[in-house]
Structure 1
């Protein structure tokens, strides 16, 4: 019994060509930017882990959609780690902008005691 593996077109074919990395990374970047843009700075640290969780779930779903067993673990871990790193980078940059925007000094020249 043979199965025909007809090439898929559209979104699934694009996901396959990118090895399932671009979609989770894009979702993670958009979620992190949405947290920085819409959540108050005091609530960021509650929303960033939620965004990371969604990005990891999207990574898993994308790898299931690809449907290839070979290299599943490395593709999934690369997609999830890249998504979490993107969220971390956005959180650090957003935190620095928030500190500077609030007029606080990140590296004070002298301490008051």
Structure 2
């Protein structure tokens, strides 16, 4: 009984955290589309950077809200990397659309 300090209690019902990662990707898609629609072409790159910074803050907030410390940095990194890829694909689409004569 003297070794009780080494035993930790497991979480009984841990929350699923993958939904928080996907939520940041969806927010990145919505922000990217809004920037592409409402911002002038010469300012899109700057606003996409601001939008990605906002996604970083949202990723931290969502993962802190879940309250699990295990894998926190991996979940935030996956959230931000996914947001970067989503915004990059949207940026590529808007860039290609701007060079098409029309």
For the aligned pair, the TM-score class normalised by the smaller chain equals 0.7 to 0.9
* Higher normalized helix content (fraction of residues): 2
Gaps of 5+ in 1: 8-12, 105-113
TM-score (ref. length: structure 1): 0.73
Whether the 8 Å contact between 1:28 and 1:51 is mirrored in structure 2 is: yes
TM-score (ref. length: structure 2): 0.80
**Count of residues paired in the alignment:** 93
- Distance in 1, matches of 2:44 and 2:98, equals 11
Matching residue of 2:68: 68
Per chain length, whose mean CA-contact separation is higher, i.e. which structure has more relative contact order (CA < 8 Å, sep 6+)? Answer: 2
What CA distance in whole angstroms lies between the structure 1 residues aligned with 2:53 and 2:33? Answer: 15
Name 1:88's counterpart in structure 2.
88
> In the alignment, which residue of structure 2 is the partner of 1:77?
77
> Which runs of no fewer than 5 residues in structure 2 stay unpaired?
1-10
